[in-house]
Amino acid sequence: MVASLYAFFFIDPWPWWLGGILIGLLVPGLYYFLNTALGVSTGYGNLVKLILPGSRLKWLNSDDYRNVYNWRFFFLAGIVIGGFISARTGGKAWFQWEMGRFTAVLDWSFPLLALWFFAGGLLLGLGARIAQGCTSGHSIHGIANLQKSSIIATVFFLLGGYVTLRIISRFLLGGM
């Protein structure tokens, strides 16, 4: 009984409803206990500031980023730790060089793969700031609050993702 409960929570992948409920609870939970709106991508500004502390760029010196070690830094650090704990309890290797179907199908060298994922990250970072939010801030927090900009942003997240995946699938990964 205890062993199967442990396996359910810490070893096997969770069912969709469990993840959905817990992520959903974060939205009111963050407001109720910390008076804060859920959002991840804004915290990447802290990471930029951490790497370039002397930058004079106005955006990096706005109120949000005056202090690098504000709540966003700790929230993002926690996400990394949470992923770490999950991989340990789930029995994953400490360092994984593959990435699912992408590396299973393509026999690219690691530097080329690194470049691809870095380029995708550039689009994520730039796109999230231009759209003023990401999956957590817009798609979950924003739609849960019925905000129009979040609904529009999410429609375009999904549209961009769908079209891009069709192209990747067609030309790189050999069909759906």
Q: DSSP letter at 95?
A: S
Q: Which of residues 154-173 bind another protein (CB under 8 A)?
A: 154-166, 168-169
Contact residue for another protein among 9, 66, 170, 174 (CB under 8 A): 9
Q: Does 64 participate in binding another protein (rule CB under 8 A)?
A: no
CB 125 within 8 A of CB 41: yes
CA–CA dist 69, 81 (Å, integer): 17
Least Å distance between CB 65 and another protein? 9
Which C-beta is closer to another protein: that of 3 or that of 20?
Answer: 20
Q: Does 68 participate in binding another protein (rule CB under 8 A)?
A: no
94's tokens: 């400490």
Least Å distance between CB 13 and another protein? 5
CB proximity list for 74: less than 8 A, separation 6 or greater: none
CB proximity list for 34: less than 8 A, separation 6 or greater: 71
Least Å distance between CB 161 and another protein? 4
Q: Does 6 participate in binding another protein (rule CB under 8 A)?
A: no
Q: Which of residues 88-127 bind another protein (CB under 8 A)?
A: 90, 92-103, 110, 113-127
Contact residue for another protein among 74, 91, 106, 170 (CB under 8 A): 74
- Residue type at position 38: L
Q: Which of residues 14-53 bind another protein (CB under 8 A)?
A: 14-37, 40-41, 43-45, 47-48, 51-52
CA–CA dist 71, 83 (Å, integer): 19
CB 36 within 8 A of CB 71: yes
